[in-house]
Amino acid sequence: MSAMPATVQPELTASDADLVDERLPTPLYHQVYLVLRNKILTGVHGFDSLMPSEQETAEMFGVSRITAKRALNDLAGDGLVVRERGRGTRVVYKAPTPPVQASVEGLLENLLAMGLKTEVILLAFDYVRPDDKVARVLHCDDGAMVQRAVRVRCLEGEPFSYLTTFVPEEIGRSFSREDLSAQPLLTLLERSGVVVSRAEQTISATIADAQVAQALDLDFGSPLLSIRRIVYDQNERPVEFISALYRPDRYQYQMMLSRVGDGTTRSWSAIG
């Protein structure tokens, strides 16, 4: 028989008591619930650990035991904890895989590293006539074709990005569907003889349509991080246009900043 986890012995602190306020329009039980829920979701109370008892919770937040009980019951109703008579309240929520992190510094190197450590599901791979926007970005001649591929990237089996890429036909013909399923696109571009020199990208926000929502295991209309990137070779020829949609709970974009300038003209500038 496995041993029970050690019970939590919380101490009443000013910070705990100050997290709720009976003067607010939100009921006290719901305030306590929100604070405890956040502690579970952020790992303060980890999987299989015991939550404070009703009495301990009441003392922590300076509320009645009835208020504490209702907050804990709501956590159980959300499936975050299980409550067992005589055994306490145990956390059953498991935190998702830590989000993939990428940064502006060393952009192309980070993109390659991400491609090597994640899995890919290839949803589409074909050659099409580009629409006006893609044709303009890739400097396509009239009648030109482009390779279009749609991929979902996963980390430990969990989808985090939906990628649509366009590559000029003469470059795309140098690799196959199987190649793109197994290797990062940057690797395939370089293998074809392209010398990648730089990239321009725009970051914004959007929502998931029905197709993207299904691919990323989201609800329709869920918020997404949208990144559009144009990759150039050493001759300033655009060799790839990508529209990338990321789940914000599974992908983080980081930027290192330094303070530059003198006096009143000081400002933030990206490092790299």
Domains defined along the chain, listed by start? 14-91 (1.10.10.10), 100-257 (3.40.1410.10)
Candidates 144, 154, 137; CA nearest to 201 is 137
Question: How many angstroms from the chain centroid is the CA of residue 248?
Answer: 3
Whole-model pTM?
0.60
Here the tokens at position 151 are 């991929």
- Alpha-carbon span 55 to 131, nearest angstrom: 64
Q: Is the pLDDT of residue 13 over 60?
A: no
pLDDT in tens, 24-71: 888 999 999 998 988 888 778 888 999 999 999 999 999 999 999 999
Q: Is a pLDDT exceeding 60 seen at residue 136?
A: yes
CA distances to 34, 53, 263 from 257, in Å = 33, 44, 18
Helix 54-61 / helix 28-41 crossing angle, nearest 10 deg: 100
Look at residue 109 in the predicted model and tell me its pLDDT.
41
What confidence tens digit (pLDDT) does each residue in 58-103 have? 999 999 999 999 999 999 999 999 999 889 999 999 876 555 555 4
Q: Is the pLDDT of residue 201 over 80?
A: yes
Task: Note the pLDDT of residue 187.
Answer: 87
User: Mean per-residue pLDDT for 138-162?
Assistant: 91
The secondary structure of the chain in percent helix, strand, coil, rounded to multiples of 5, reads: 30, 30, 40
